[in-house]
């Protein structure tokens, strides 16, 4: 399986990131650590809800004497806003599409690489990427694909495409994640045959009109106080839903009537990394925590909990076979070759997307 995973990662690189290791591969992280006695007793960790098991945070506190205050967000834009506000955050998990802009604006602290010896476990295919070409600001965390969750016994025909979300005869209601702005806009763009990274005003306007049409039948997971659309699909309230790997795995464990669909138009790839915001109050503790999270046993424990692919090579052997061999979690090349990475936008593109999204959310 290890060879297959390495092959998949090489495919990911071709989808959108430039590999600069030709002249940087000789850079090694010195095997030194910050002493736990030099850190303070509390650390603020900003992340998605239910993404890291409490046992991992408790273990860090027991080993290092540092309590982790786990602060959550419902949308990536919310996390970025918190960082830009200057509120205290010592470690944050962000989609990589935001890292370049935050770095250029001075909202991120550079990593002291000699304090992160466990970085050696990160696959080379996730290093020296365009948004952080010298690995100075981010630690690769996890990655995955987006697709559909379908209640097959309630659908008049199989769902095979993103455009099936707009077929009211197939599914009267659909469940969506409102907190994933680029992903949701990306679904509309893919269904129209456009790139998820387009900045063309005409194409974005078409996507807006398409999303506006879908909104009247949409149920947003966050509005119901849920973290996944699984219950809605299992109960038959929404036979079709936008879904991530966690949703697919949980559904497969509960019923054979729910299928996982990789749309024919191609899936989308997301990729998240840890960063240290400029507002960090305990930099030593933050780097100690990051090094802890890169320990293979910890990375595997997290992957077994949240069901997302990890770039930590040494962790793969400790990930359960059901997860490691699941092509929806660690997609094979056939899936990846048809996928598109969600990439950072230009400042003008960001403005266009933000304006579109505000118009969308104002629709009653």
Residue found by looking up tokens 């960090």 in the block:
280
26 found inside a domain: yes
Mean pLDDT on 211-236: 86
> Which range in 117-121, 147-151, 352-356 is most confidently predicted, on average pLDDT?
117-121
Q: Which two tokens stand for residue 300?
A: 């595997």
Tell me: pLDDT of 301 over 50: yes
Tell me, yes or no, whether 89 and 191 share the same domain.
no
DSSP 256-283: TTEEEE--TT--EEEEEEEE-BTT-S-H
328 found inside a domain: no
207 found inside a domain: yes
**CA torsion angle 274 287 246 236 (round to 10):** -80
| pLDDT band of 39, cuts 50, 70, 90 | very low
Q: How far is CA 281 from CA 40, 52, 162, 315, in A?
A: 9, 22, 44, 30
Sign, CA dihedral 34-317-261-265, equals positive
Whole-number Å distance between alpha carbons of 67 and 51 = 17
Residues 6+ apart with CB under 8 A from 357: 181, 185
The total number of structural domains that make up the chain: 2
DSSP helix/strand/coil, 292: helix
Phi, psi of 268 (to 5 degrees): -120, 145
Tell me, yes or no, whether 225 and 238 share the same domain.
yes
Q: What is the pLDDT of residue 19?
A: 34
Q: Which two tokens stand for residue 83?
A: 């960082």
Lowest-confidence segment of 21-25, 112-116, 161-165, 185-189 by average pLDDT: 21-25
Domain coverage including residue 56: 2-142+272-320
What is the widest separation between alpha-carbon atoms in the chain?
A: 63
Tell me, yes or no, whether 124 and 255 share the same domain.
no
334 found inside a domain: no
Residue 25's CATH number: 3.40.190.10
Tell me, yes or no, whether 184 and 113 share the same domain.
no
Tell me, yes or no, whether 43 and 138 share the same domain.
yes
Tell me, yes or no, whether 128 and 276 share the same domain.
yes
Tell me: pLDDT of 97 over 50: yes
Whole-number Å distance between alpha carbons of 17 and 24 = 15
Higher pLDDT, 239 or 5: 239
Higher pLDDT, 33 or 29: 33
33 found inside a domain: yes
Tell me, yes or no, whether 195 and 215 share the same domain.
yes
Tell me, yes or no, whether 278 and 130 share the same domain.
yes
Q: What is the pLDDT of residue 333?
A: 87
DSSP helix/strand/coil, 197: coil
351: which DSSP letter?
Answer: H
Percent share of the chain, pLDDT over 70: 89
Mean pLDDT on 23-39: 38
Tell me, yes or no, whether 180 and 295 share the same domain.
no
Tell me, yes or no, whether 200 and 295 share the same domain.
no
| pLDDT band of 11, cuts 50, 70, 90 | low
330 found inside a domain: no
326 found inside a domain: no
| pLDDT band of 16, cuts 50, 70, 90 | low
| pLDDT band of 47, cuts 50, 70, 90 | very high
Mean pLDDT on 300-311: 95
Lowest-confidence segment of 9-23, 93-107, 165-179 by average pLDDT: 9-23
Tens digits of residue pLDDT in 131-190 = 888 889 999 999 999 999 999 999 999 999 999 999 999 999 999 988 778 999 999 999
59 found inside a domain: yes
Tell me, yes or no, whether 148 and 242 share the same domain.
yes
Tell me, yes or no, whether 168 and 106 share the same domain.
no
Tell me: pLDDT of 40 over 50: no
Whole-number Å distance between alpha carbons of 123 and 312 = 6
| pLDDT band of 31, cuts 50, 70, 90 | very low
Percent share of the chain, pLDDT over 90: 63
């Amino acid at each position: 399986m290890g060879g297959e995973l390495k092959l998949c990662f090489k495919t990911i690189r071709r989808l959108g990131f430039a590999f600069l290791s030709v002249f940087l591969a000789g850079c090694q992280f010195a095997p030194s650590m910050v002493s736990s006695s030099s850190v303070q007793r509390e650390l603020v960790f900003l992340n998605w809800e239910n993404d890291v098991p409490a046992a991992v945070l408790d273990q860090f506190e027991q080993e290092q004497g540092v309590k982790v205050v786990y602060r959550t967000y419902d949308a990536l834009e919310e996390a970025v806003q918190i960082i830009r506000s200057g509120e205290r955050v010592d470690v944050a998990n962000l989609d990589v599409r935001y890292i370049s802009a935050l770095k250029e604006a001075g909202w991120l602290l550079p990593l002291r690489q000699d304090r992160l010896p466990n970085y050696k476990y990160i696959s080379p295919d996730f290093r020296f990427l365009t948004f952080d070409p010298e690995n100075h600001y981010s630690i690769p965390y996890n990655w995955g694909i987006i697709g559909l969750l379908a209640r097959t016994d309630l659908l008049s025909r199989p769902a095979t495409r993103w455009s099936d979300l707009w077929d009211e005869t197939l599914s009267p209601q659909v469940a969506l994640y409102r907190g994933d702005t680029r992903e949701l806009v990306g679904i509309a763009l893919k269904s129209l045959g456009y790139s998820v990274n387009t900045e063309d005003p005409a194409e974005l306007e078409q996507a807006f009109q398409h999303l506006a049409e879908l909104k009247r039948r949409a149920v947003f997971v966050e509005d119901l106080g849920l973290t996944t659309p699984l219950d809605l699909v299992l109960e038959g309230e929404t036979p079709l839903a936008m879904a991530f790997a966690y949703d697919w795995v949980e559904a497969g464990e509960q019923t054979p009537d729910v299928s996982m669909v990789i749309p024919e138009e191609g899936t989308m790839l997301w990729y998240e990394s840890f960063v240290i915001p400029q507002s960090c109050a305990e930099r030593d503790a933050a780097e100690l925590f990051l090094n802890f999270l890169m320990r293979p046993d910890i990375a595997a424990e997290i992957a077994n909990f949240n069901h997302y692919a990890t770039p930590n090579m040494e962790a793969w052997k400790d990930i359960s076979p059901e997860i490691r061999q699941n092509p929806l979690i660690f997609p094979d090349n056939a899936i990846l070759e048809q996928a598109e990475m969600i990439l950072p936008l230009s400042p003008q593109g960001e403005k266009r997307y933000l304006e579109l999204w505000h118009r969308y959310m104002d629709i009653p």
